[in-house]
Structure 1
Amino acid sequence: MTTSDYATYIAGLPRVLVGAASLIRDTEGRVLLVEPNYREGWALPGGTVESDDGETPRQGARRETLEEIGLDLEVGRLLAVDWVPGTTRPPIVAYLYDGGVLSEDQFKAIRLQEEELLSWRLVSREELSEYLSGSLGLRVLAGLNVLAEGAGTLELENGHPVT
């Protein structure tokens, strides 16, 4: 296969988007959510992995967290990987990492990326469904379950565990 043939082959392969986020909590177990200004609803600190630049999902989660909330946090273990189909966009493979439990001083040090975010808040598990819908809400609950149970990484499809 020539270089040109290989390039044509690669160009014809299916595409997926890759996202990565950090599940950050406080000492009471509340989850840190951010409010984007470019769409309705709330999210976790995170975003698109810059795979064209060689970035890995773990690196993407750390970079996005730093960019969005101004904290350079070591990303913990992988909690879940979620395959999220799309109708108006390619499918997304979403990686969810343990962002750890932050101290009060760390929360006070949060500086939002004003180009993308309006606000942040801490939300209890019981209130998450009021802020996060669809596969993201299910993914966060699955991640909290993994942490609570000490379980291994979950494989999800559209937020639901694969059995």
Structure 2
Amino acid sequence: MIVDTLANRNLYSHISPRIAKALAHLSETDFSQLEVGTYELDGKDLFVIVNDYETKPREMEPFEVHQQYIDVQYVFSGEEEFGYLPLADQTPSKPYFAKHDYAEFDYQSNKDAAAFIPFKAGMFALFFPEDMHMPGTSATPKQVRKVVIKVKI
């Protein structure tokens, strides 16, 4: 996992050309002008999801992991927190669903080991396949516009 602001995006562009393209897109795009939805940057290898939502309490959300894509998550407006825990030897509460590249892990089983990190407008996070993460939470409901770029591994 990597967490930083877009001002430092060039520090991470060497990881892969697709991550470099994703970070450049985040810095060059005015997401206030886009409708909620999915947009292709490079077919299924690189695509953008723009979403507006209200955060939920930790207890209502599962942890998740992905095997086929790296998540580049960016808070365009608002603020939330996300949970993080290394995947290590965790057991999913729901099996991996290949069609949506998603496995789910129970919050209650992992709450004592997880770290919760503030995630504010202008910040991005890279979640790799070994990173369990729980996005979209906060103690009190908050409106968030988040952009997720899915980067094919």
TM-score normalised by L of structure 1: 0.25
TM-score normalised by L of structure 2: 0.26
More strand by share: 2
- Between structure 1 and structure 2, the one with the greater Rg is 1
